[in-house]
Amino acid sequence: MEGDRAAPDTMASMSERIHYDEFGLFHENAAEYGLPFDAPPVVRRESVSLADGRAVSALVWGETEPELVFVHGGSQNAHTWDTTIMALGRSAIAVDLPGHGHSDWRDDGAYSPANLADDVAVAVAALAPTARTVVGMSLGGLTSLQLAVRHAHLVRSLVMIDITPGVNASKTKAIIDFVSGPQSFPSFESLLERTIEHNPTRTISSLRRGILHNARQLDDGSWQWRYDRRGHGRSSTPPAMSGADAPAASTTSDAPAEAPALSPMWDDFGSVACPLVLVRGALSPVVDDDDVAEARRRRPDLVVHLVEGAGHSVQGDRPLELAELVAASLG
């Protein structure tokens, strides 16, 4: 789609208001990836209350008991999975992590995988207690790993996308360089231009859609990311690089800036009782060969897939291929 790479000279100026309907963009996903679109998919937003008064928000796809749970990466939101879920055609929920999307922020700003897992568990128990597979990407993958450790009854099989406990700041430098940018932008055009600069392989339409899902326009016409950026710059858990449906920002973690070669979370990786699949983006530096070797040592039964042409956000770069791999995990 070479023509789609043209400069966004028709984008909104600072004073122009842009209409946003989070359920009104699915036809774009379908058109971009050649999916059938006879009618909009059945999707609704649900909110689940936590004991401390906060709420976790999620998209519920379909009208039957959800088979799948999707957990996005840091700085993303539930809409990053739209194309993959549409391609699957299965009932599912896609959770907005606390501090992201429409979920409430934590007062303490402590978005560690363990803390996130405890919050996500409440939402999964309420909305998808019998789901067959949990799919987590980046920070969402580590959160899903902790979900399987701390709330094992909710995770019958686990798919981790481009993440292992071997993640560290050096592997995620390019991602952090992008997400360490401004929180606010004077116009939609300025936000889009910066996103295009750091995502040269994506179409403008996908990046525009992602921004609409992951940022909000203020009364003065300027734009801000939706997520909680507290703790910015001290995380070794990579925020997800700008996916087709979720341009990124930063997130926090309780881990040090450089995670040790053998993180304590490797023990959790090896102890999870359910089947485990690792999906790796061929163009991503976040999971390297040493990580895969350690993962196989800890889990000899591990299934590993390498997705060609995909970077860190496999769901953004190769959503249809990912849908095939997720479907295969269901048996």
Catalytic residue among 82, 119, 162, 268: 162
Mean of the pLDDT values across residues 185-189?
94
- Which pLDDT score, from 0 to 100, does residue 154 have? 98
Sheet strand arrangement including 303-307: 43-49, 55-61, 92-95, 68-71, 133-137, 158-161, 276-281, 303-307
In sequence order, the β-bridge partners of residue 48 are 56
The domains located in the chain, with CATH, are: 14-329 (3.40.50.1820)
Catalytic residue among 79, 198, 213, 312: 312
Catalytic residue among 91, 103, 112, 138: 138
pLDDT tens digit sequence for 192-249: 998 888 777 678 888 899 999 999 999 999 999 999 987 544 444 444 433 333 333 3
- SS3 state at 115: helix
Vertex 97: Cα angle to 205 and 103 (nearest 5): 90
Q: Known catalytic residue: 15?
A: no
Least confident window among 6-10, 47-51, 126-130, 323-327: 6-10
**In this structure, what DSSP letter does residue 106 have?**
P
- Model confidence at 96, pLDDT cuts 50, 70, 90, reads very high
- Which pLDDT score, from 0 to 100, does residue 262 have? 61
- Model confidence at 2, pLDDT cuts 50, 70, 90, reads very low
**Which structure tokens are listed for 40?**
């909009």
**Which structure tokens are listed for 101?**
């999307």
**Which structure tokens are listed for 97?**
């992590």
Q: pTM higher than 0.85 for the full model? A: yes
Q: Known catalytic residue: 305?
A: no
Strand blocks (E) in 50-169 = 55-61, 68-71, 92-95, 133-137, 158-161
Q: Known catalytic residue: 38?
A: no
pLDDT tens digit sequence for 289-317: 999 999 999 999 999 999 999 999 999 99
Contact 320, 83 (CB under 8 A): yes
Contact 40, 23 (CB under 8 A): yes
Give the Å distances, CA to CA, from 163 to 92, 209, 292.
Answer: 22, 25, 10
Read off φ and ψ for residue 47, nearest 5 degrees: -125, 130
Report how far Cα 49 is from the mean position of its chain's Cα atoms.
21
Contact 41, 111 (CB under 8 A): no
Residue 133 confidence (pLDDT) above 70? yes
Residue 27 confidence (pLDDT) above 50? yes
Cα separation, 199 vs 189, in Å, equals 15
- Which pLDDT score, from 0 to 100, does residue 280 have? 97
